[in-house]
A and B are shown apart, each in its own frame.
Chain A
Amino acid sequence: MVHLSWYLTVSAMLFCIGVFGFLTRRNIIMMLLSIELMLNSVNLNLAAMSHYMEDLRGQVLVFFIIAVAAAEAAIGLGIVVTLFRNYRSVHTEDIIKLKG
């Protein structure tokens, strides 16, 4: 028998790895990939919760999160392409126009 808290722990670990990647990577594409990692951990959390509560609400939410993640990837990567066209770089330390 797999306990619910095991799923929650794995999902928390994956989320923290995603947070670490988002805070420390210098490449914007890798930051977006870390966001995907975090979204995946949330999906796992919701699916596990839904299974153990015998309710479909969480799994429906996972479905919507996957749709929103696809939209987010499309928009985010579009922004990255535009940034690269204007700055010839996708590194966070090169994009400092708002810093003043």
Chain B
Amino acid sequence: MVQLLFFYFALVVIGLGLRIVTCKNPVHSVLLMLVLFFHMAGFYLLLNAEFLAAVQVIVYAGAILVLYLFVLFLVNLREEVKMSPFIEKGKWLGIVGAVVLFITFLRGVMNFSLGPHGEYTIEKVQQLTHTKAMGEAIYTAYILPFEIAGLILLVAVIGGLALAKKEKKGA
């Protein structure tokens, strides 16, 4: 059953990924990306990471994709759908680069062996519940990275405001 679900998710994610990067209309790409994000959340559920699945749906599907859609509606798409979505002569170079990179990754995956196991076994996480286990890890051992992530979000807010602000004439 788990294997069946894994293959379903893998098939949908890879197929949608290929469709997203080759789709002519960016709006279609963004909407397909929404479906892809839901299937990624399915992967997280298979990996016993419920909190990450929820965050994936809320942040990626709920916030980031809406941002993308808004910006897509701001820019002019009229002639976009009529021309080729790829840069000139770049398509084959891109395919070759991606395939070579994939072969390199595959060699790494073949020779990969797991390191020593940590203390959070599946039973322990299920007993604690995943959200509580994550919270304990974030607010004790990873408190400094958590603060830095907050700072990065502040920088993003200020940067977004500064970029989107209309400049005054003559200033």
Contact = CB atoms under 8 A, between A and B. Distances in A.
Interface of A: 1-2, 4-10, 12-21, 23-27, 29-30, 32-34, 36-37, 40, 43-44, 47-48, 50-57, 59-60, 62-64, 66-75, 77-82, 84, 88-90, 92-93
Given A2-B46, A52-B114, A67 B152 contact: yes
Given A12-B105, A25-B85, A79-B163, A59 B29 contact: no
Given A55-B119, A57-B118, A78-B164, A14 B14 contact: yes
Contacts of A5: 109-110, 112
B6 A75 contact: no
Query: Closest 5 interchain pairs by CB?
Result: A55-B118, A21-B21, A71-B156, A78-B163, A24-B94
A17 B119 CA distance: 35
Interface residues on B, range: 35 or more
B10 to A, nearest CB: 5
B interface, over-half SS: helix
B47 interface: yes
B153 A47 contact: no
B149 A67 contact: yes
A44 B164 CA distance: 32
Interface in B1-34: 2-3, 6, 10, 13-14, 17-18, 20-21, 26, 29-30, 33
Contacts of A88: 76
A94 B57 CA distance: 35
B59 A19 contact: no
Given A14-B14, A81-B74, A23 B90 contact: yes
Given A24-B86, A66-B60, A33 B13 contact: no
A33 B115 contact: no
B136 to A, nearest CB: 9
Interface in B51-76: 51-52, 55-56, 59-60, 63-64, 67-68, 71-72, 74-76
A37 to B, nearest CB: 6
Given A23-B93, A25-B86, A92-B87, A80 B10 contact: no
B14 A17 contact: yes
